Structure 1
Amino acid sequence: MRLGIQIPNFTYTNGQAQLGDTFAQIAERAERAGFYSLWVMDHFFQIHMVGPAENEMLEGWSALAFAAARTNRIKLGTMVTGVTYRHPGLLVKTATTLDVLSHGRAYFGVGAAWNEQEHAGLGVPFPPLGERFERLEETLQIAHQMWKGDEKPFEGKHYQLTRPLNSPQSVQRPHPPILIGGTGERKTLRMVAQYGDGCNLFARLGKEGLQQKLDVLRGHCEALGRPYEEIEKTTLDSLKITRDGRNGSLSASAAIDLFGSLAEQGIDQAIFSLQNVEDIEAFDILATEIVPVVEKIAVAGR
């Protein structure tokens, strides 16, 4: 089993003047601790679940490029890019650039977008939900076409590309893994089965809720003739890890139990934000007591 770290919060105790140094330090510590992947949100205002909109928020793809320059092995992705924020042809170029410059470490995380506040605030059109899903599907089609090197015109309902040229091509072939965010059973999980390489589900759904989503995904895969085992199943959570599990945090043994239970359900990668991310002790515990054990946990169905 693999572990990934999400960094949703850029409001640090040493202030904005040191933000870049702190973010770089967190990325470097995550890699040294043995995390498989590092993720940032693709938002422009801080989201209400984390803090007030006015809190510091870095643009996601630029932040990943910065992290790529400070690391060597850890995979890098957005959790996830809202399809409304960037024209799909330019988005594929952006993801390809990260993959090339990081020597093949990019994930392509994408979803239908939801935060109307930042759309309105920055003047970005926010179509109705149905249209956003149509745009997401066309974006996925364009991504596959561009990463295949197919330059014939793309004529969609929302996007028209006369020459979807992508040079240089991605290092990862046939393309960076496509992770589609969201848990919608009718549209999102069907798109995962049809176009994606990974899904991301909320750990807070609990065992029964996760199993329902996985069963739905399996059904879509069967309907489309796609091997269910090809899909990387990931979860997203928020944890605090301490030596003794104080104040509602998780000790190393409790964290291992949590990740083990997810692996039993077939979760390949547990991604989580670390609430005490500025605490070096948390990374020390992960490096010495958690990651080496979790890496040996077999994932059901693998």
Structure 2
Amino acid sequence: MRQGPRARVRESGDRGSLLVRDVTIDLRIFTEPQQGATYDDLLRVARAAEDLGFGGFFRSDHYLHMSGDGGSGPTDAWTTLAGLARDTSTIRLGTLVTSATFRLPGPLAVQVAGVDQMSGGRVELGLGAGWFEQEHRAYGIPFPALGERFDRLEEQLAVITGLWSTPPGETFSHQGSHYPVVDSPALAKPVQDGGVPIIVGGAGKRRTPALAARYAAEFNAAFQSASASGELFERVRAACAAIGRDGDAPVYSAAQVVVLGEDAATLRRRSAAIGREVDELRTNGLAGSADEIVDRIGAFAEVGASRLYLQVLDLSDLDHLEEIAHRVQTQL
């Protein structure tokens, strides 16, 4: 995997001075196509992200817009990722995150393994319990209570990883209340050793850290402050310790909306294009000049994040991606 940019992290030294050390930060582009984006829109952004050296191109898995009119409508996450697997060549691809309520675990395991094969081993699967009730109603998807959704997520993780890890020629069975599996040939297989990396995220205090410790190659803290992200990371480390897993084994990541503007007019224009206010974005995201964004990234690195998903909401502004690459990554 390509190395990401390097973030400046300030730490206390002798006599209270501030020192700077380098920490590798993998920057990835994260999109929300349910707001209205065609496959061609996504392909343009994915290819630009690949050409500019970002570590990954990820998309949400939603079927209903959350503001505006939804434009041309949603695209299916794994359908578009299959296309991107063939239409890109080096960048990593995945979901942040697929909802466990949308798909049965057996077919999802086959689907993701197939996309992994199509990409030459560049796919990652973010999987969550689901939360957006309105989109379930809009597309006729059952939406059980929160406890059952977590039960289903836990069982899906067990089935998917069990299918992928079953040795060739053997069968897999799972005695579950929601997704019983009997004598599955456990095909198809991903091409990545150990299967497709699983991403688990969320702010839950008990079940989320436990699931991340057991199943996840990566834990993601989405749209949290740096300090809150650090607290979530520590919960996962504690959950790892409880089952005898090295707390440093998972990758720790964060997701933040990004709006770069070297002058006030550009910052206002780009904020308005996504329906947000500059002051709010400075508080709840990465907004401002390249220097400001680099410093905010450093704050996440200080609490243990080694990967950052930059949520880019205006998919028509490819100049924005180029400026982030040239002005932020070059500083890092």
Per the normalisation by structure 1, the TM-score is 0.88
What residue ranges of structure 2 are gaps of 5+ in the alignment?
1-24, 269-277, 279-286
* Separation in structure 1 between the aligned mates of residue 58 and residue 161 of structure 2, nearest angstrom: 22
The answer for the alignment partner of 2:232 in structure 1 is 213
RMSD: 1.9
* Separation in structure 2 between the aligned mates of residue 139 and residue 253 of structure 1, nearest angstrom: 42
Residue 82 to residue 184, structure 1, CA distance change in 2 (3 Å): same
Aligned pair partner of 1:86 in 103, 112, 135 = 103
The answer for the alignment partner of 2:166 in structure 1 is 149
- Structure 1 residue 215: deviation in Å? 1.7
The answer to whether structure 1 residue 2 and structure 2 residue 23 are counterparts is no
The answer for the alignment partner of 2:44 in structure 1 is 25
Please give the secondary structure, in 1, of the residue aligned with 2:329: helix
**What per-residue deviation string (whole Å, max 9, x for no partner) do you get for residues 250-299 of structure 1?**
222222212122111110111021244422322222232322443xxxxx
Paired residues in the alignment total 286
The answer to whether structure 1 residue 233 and structure 2 residue 252 are counterparts is yes
- Structure 1 residue 88: deviation in Å? 0.3
* Separation in structure 2 between the aligned mates of residue 116 and residue 54 of structure 1, nearest angstrom: 20
* Separation in structure 2 between the aligned mates of residue 121 and residue 34 of structure 1, nearest angstrom: 37
The answer to whether structure 1 residue 278 and structure 2 residue 298 are counterparts is no
Indicate the percent of aligned positions where both proteins have the same amino acid. 29
The answer to whether structure 1 residue 132 and structure 2 residue 149 are counterparts is yes
- Structure 1 residue 53: deviation in Å? 5.7
Kept in 1, the 8 Å contact 2:173–2:180? The answer is yes
Residue 240 to residue 277, structure 1, CA distance change in 2 (3 Å): farther
* Separation in structure 1 between the aligned mates of residue 260 and residue 26 of structure 2, nearest angstrom: 17
Please give the secondary structure, in 2, of the residue aligned with 1:230: coil
The residue type paired with residue 250 of structure 1 is: G
Please give the secondary structure, in 2, of the residue aligned with 1:238: strand
The answer for the alignment partner of 1:169 in structure 2 is 189
Structure 1 or 2: more strand by fraction: 2
Matching of residues 290-301 of structure 1 within 5 Å: 290-294=328-332
* Separation in structure 2 between the aligned mates of residue 110 and residue 288 of structure 1, nearest angstrom: 32
* Separation in structure 1 between the aligned mates of residue 252 and residue 227 of structure 2, nearest angstrom: 15
**What per-residue deviation string (whole Å, max 9, x for no partner) do you get for residues 104-161 of structure 1?**
0110110001111122222221111111111111111111211112523211111111
The answer to whether structure 1 residue 266 and structure 2 residue 304 are counterparts is yes
Kept in 1, the 8 Å contact 2:94–2:126? The answer is yes
Residue 190 to residue 138, structure 1, CA distance change in 2 (3 Å): same
Per the normalisation by structure 2, the TM-score is 0.81
- Structure 1 residue 61: deviation in Å? 0.7
* Separation in structure 2 between the aligned mates of residue 253 and residue 277 of structure 1, nearest angstrom: 23
**What per-residue deviation string (whole Å, max 9, x for no partner) do you get for residues 188-219 of structure 1?**
1110011111111124x323312221221111
What residue ranges of structure 1 are gaps of 5+ in the alignment?
295-302
Matching of residues 92-103 of structure 1 within 5 Å: 92-103=109-120
The answer to whether structure 1 residue 179 and structure 2 residue 199 are counterparts is yes
* Separation in structure 2 between the aligned mates of residue 9 and residue 241 of structure 1, nearest angstrom: 20
The answer for the alignment partner of 2:62 in structure 1 is 43
* Separation in structure 2 between the aligned mates of residue 178 and residue 227 of structure 1, nearest angstrom: 17
Kept in 1, the 8 Å contact 2:216–2:250? The answer is yes
* Separation in structure 1 between the aligned mates of residue 319 and residue 262 of structure 2, nearest angstrom: 8
- Structure 1 residue 54: deviation in Å? 6.9
The residue type paired with residue 30 of structure 1 is: A
